Structure 1
Amino acid sequence: MRQQQRDSAVHWVAWTTLLLGLTFSVCSPGQEAPSATPVPWSAPASVSVVEEERTFENEEATLSGTLYVARDRKPQSAIVVTHSAAAAQRDLPLYQHLKQMLPALGIAVFIYDRRGSGKSGGDLRTSDYAMLADDAIAAVRMLKTDSRIDSRRVGIWGLSQGGWLALLAASRSSEPAFVISVSAPLVTPDVQMMFRSINSLRVHGYPQAEIDQMIATRKAVDDYMRGSGDRATAQRLVDAAKIKPWFKLLYMGETVTDRATSRWRKEIEFDPLKTLEGVKIPALVIFGAADPVVPVDVSVKRLRAAHPKLDIAVIAGADHAMQLSVPVQVQMDPARTLEEAPQAAEYFAILASWLTEHALTTSIGR
């Protein structure tokens, strides 16, 4: 019965999503925006959206973001957005679908610049996953003070590392009411980065000998960070690798930092699967079946074994950012990461149907 209800919701949401695209407008702070090219036959939009600058505090830092909220739609739920590792600021194509789709469904969206970037204070270099998750919790808490927001229905959406942070925030606090994690690898960061690096060199046509050199380099750095290898050996291998044209594809630094202060050492000690043990709220975990960045098959198997009742969706043909038509070489190019934007209709439908199923949406005109 639940599957039938979900299938029905998917069909309804698919049509709703398409129709809403014809009636949506994003506005300047506190104002409604006119049509970019007014025409004699234009009509008032069913949904108008107010765009507001907001700030909040956490760990002695002031963070800044933008709230997108439907006008005259009370009370409404809300979503706080957490960033991927490569993304840091609010104005990215990746978030355009959230700003366009969710306010029209009665869900406000808040996207803030990650600490130490854009208009947000703080220093990313001195932070860790816990602090970044607490930033999201503080944003949830701030939204709950807005009279237009239903304080019982504020959650978190995140992609990639942001998906980890969304789950971590839900395990650390009772403030979020729900969580949506997209393309978050449910393996440790060192396993995920090795998977990504191997695929990156493969799709760019490098021979196995070069891939083996990269694997040895990454392994030496990770072994040192775990305490089972030495720093000099790791640095020697990094020095040999950094002159290679493929080094720029790895997201690796040219200097092996002291493990006592290394951010990477702290990251590889984090197993996101364990985080889910503390998640007691509704959670949706979404993957792309064709993701070259995340070991999806391993992640899903681990997830289903540990949490068989969790809502999991794997989107056919979708990559890491829920795209369908981007060449894999482009997907693996660090310089193109900030151009990512979802395309998969199945992702949009599942996202909206899950939100509807959990009573987080509001019908048009209400």
Structure 2
Amino acid sequence: PQEPQAPFPYEEKEVSFTNVKHGFSLGGTLTLPEGKGPFPAAILVSGSGSQNRDEEIFGHKPFKLLADQLTRRGIAVLRYDDRGVGSSGGSAAESTSGDLAGDARSAFDYLLSNNIIDHSQIGIIGHSEGGMIAFMLASSHKDIAFIISLAGPGVDGKTILLEQSDYITSLSGVASSIREDNRIVMTAVYDIMMANESYQVWEEEVIDFTSKFYSEKDMGYYSEEDIERGKKNLLASIPESSYAWMRYFVMFDPTPLFDSIKCPVLALNGEKDCQVLPEKNIQSIKNGLLTAGNTNTFTMILPGLNHLFQNCETGLPNEYGILEETFDQKTLDMMSEWILQQVH
């Protein structure tokens, strides 16, 4: 992994700020370039799942690397522990992307209170779900100077999850008939979810649907054990504590937001991203923003990169931890240069 090593030619400050609405504080690191300031700034917003300020995954710390690279180029960076992680209060259970957007906005408000930051030049860089949060905030807050979406969703959550599952299983060599059954079941799972706020009702209806669906199949194909194990795994994959998050994500469609995003946008996806498939998502972001008249929109699909922006072979998630690279250097350089063009 490419972990930045001290001594650093910039200042690192341990900071905390408050989500006033929910009454807890979040802990983070603010890196400040050399010099007097005021500096342009970027806030880093992590992808789904509870992550620390470095967005640490499989021994890699992409947000630590990103903060290091940007701060060396004169951009202050605030990264923070997600709620319920590290030095941040609150709890991820029951919270949705909408709640997490409130945490990111609290980070923004903290920078607005800090005079070493240029208040007219604060942007948001979001990875995966963080890209979705960047779109949410930029559509409703006109004081955001720029956003960078790194593998952010351009289409609704249900579509993303169905296509992700189908693509990963096809790359993994799963037979097309099993993939088709899986798609029918998961479509029903998400449709039942969209119709029911109650986890218990959802659980009952999913069990009813899957039992009926598999009982009508040719039983030579799936054993009773397969079916029971499948049901158990399915329910375990969406526990009650994350149901509110999942339901919000499945129902969320970013496309109406694009009409009201007027700040500069850089949207990037790896060509081998298996989790947020590049063509459909990038095309939707590009079309939405350009149709709404946002001409300062730059989108790109980056050859050979996966969901974490590592150069890779397959792009499958089981490869993330094996790869030595944390984040493609050319992409880091492109992001730095693009931000400097927007803020100067």
CA distance in 1, matches of 2:77, 2:137: 17
Structure 2 counterpart SS, 1:322: coil
Partner Cα distance (2:155, 2:133) in 1: 14
Q: Which residue matches 1:54?
A: 15
Whether the 8 Å CA contact 1:141–1:175 is kept in 2: the answer is no
Structure 2 match to 1:270:
252
How many residues were matched structurally? 312
Q: Secondary structure at the match of 2:173?
A: coil
1:154 counterpart SS class: strand
Shift of 1:141: 1.3
Conserved 8 A contact 1:63-1:121: yes
From 336, 342, 348, the counterpart of 2:332: 348
| 1:283 pairs with one of 257, 260, 265 | 265
Deviation of 1:316 (Å): 1.9
The alignment status of 1:313 with 2:274, answered yes or no, reads no
Separation in structure 1 between the aligned mates of residue 230 and residue 257 of structure 2, nearest angstrom: 37
| Structure 1 position 159, deviation (Å) | 0.7
Secondary structure of the equivalent of 1:126? Answer: coil
- Normalised by the length of structure 1, the TM-score is 0.75
1:332 aligns with 2:317: yes
What is the percent sequence identity of the aligned residues? 24
Distance across 1 between alignment mates of 2:271 and 2:241: 37
Q: Distance in 1 between matches of 2:23 and 2:244?
A: 22
The match for 1:232 is 204
Counterpart residue number, 2:52: 89
What aligned pairs does 1:120-135 form with structure 2 within 5 A after superposition? 120-135=88-103
Provide the rounded CA distance (Å) in 2 between the counterparts of 1:86 and 1:193.
15
Deviates more, 1:203-212 or 1:331-340: 331-340
The alpha-carbon deviation at position 128 of structure 1 amounts to: 2.1
Q: Which amino acid aligns with 1:243?
A: R
Partner Cα separation in structure 1 for residue 89 and residue 131 of structure 2: 22
Q: Residue 323 of structure 1: which of 302, 310, 320 is its match?
A: 310
Q: Secondary structure at the match of 1:167?
A: helix
Q: Does the CA-based 8 Å contact 2:147-2:264 persist in structure 1? A: yes
CA contact (8 A) 1:220 1:233 kept: no
TM-score (norm 2): 0.80
Aligned to 1:357: 341
CA offsets 1:130-174 (integer angstroms, 9 cap, x no match): 221121111111112223211111111011011111111112223
Q: What is the rounded CA distance, in whole Å, between the counterparts of 1:63 and 1:313 in structure 2?
A: 33
Q: Deviations over 1:327-363 (max 9, x none)?
A: 43xx323984999831251x22321221122135xxx
1:167-178 alignment runs, 5 A limit: 167-178=135-146
Paired with 1:147 and 1:338, the residues of 2 have a C-alpha distance of: 40
> Which residue of 10, 30, 34 maps to 1:67?
30
Match of 2:105 among 100, 112, 137: 137
Distance 2:62 2:125 in 1: 12
Structure 1 range deviating more: 161-170 or 144-153: 144-153
Q: Distance in 1 between matches of 2:156 and 2:324?
A: 26
Asked if 1:196 is matched to 2:196, the reply is no
Deviations 1:185-207 (A, max 9, x none): 21111111111111222222222
1:287 maps to amino acid: N
Change in Cα spacing, 1:71 to 1:230, as seen in structure 2 (3 Å) is: closer
- Per the alignment, in what secondary structure is the counterpart of residue 26 of structure 2? strand
Q: Which amino acid aligns with 1:348?
A: L
Amino acid at match of 2:14: E
Q: Deviations over 1:253-302 (max 9, x none)?
A: 4567599x743222222101222222222221111222222122112332
Deviations 1:55-100 (A, max 9, x none): 1111211111111112324121111110100351113222133122
Question: In the alignment, which residue of structure 2 is the partner of 1:243?
Answer: 229
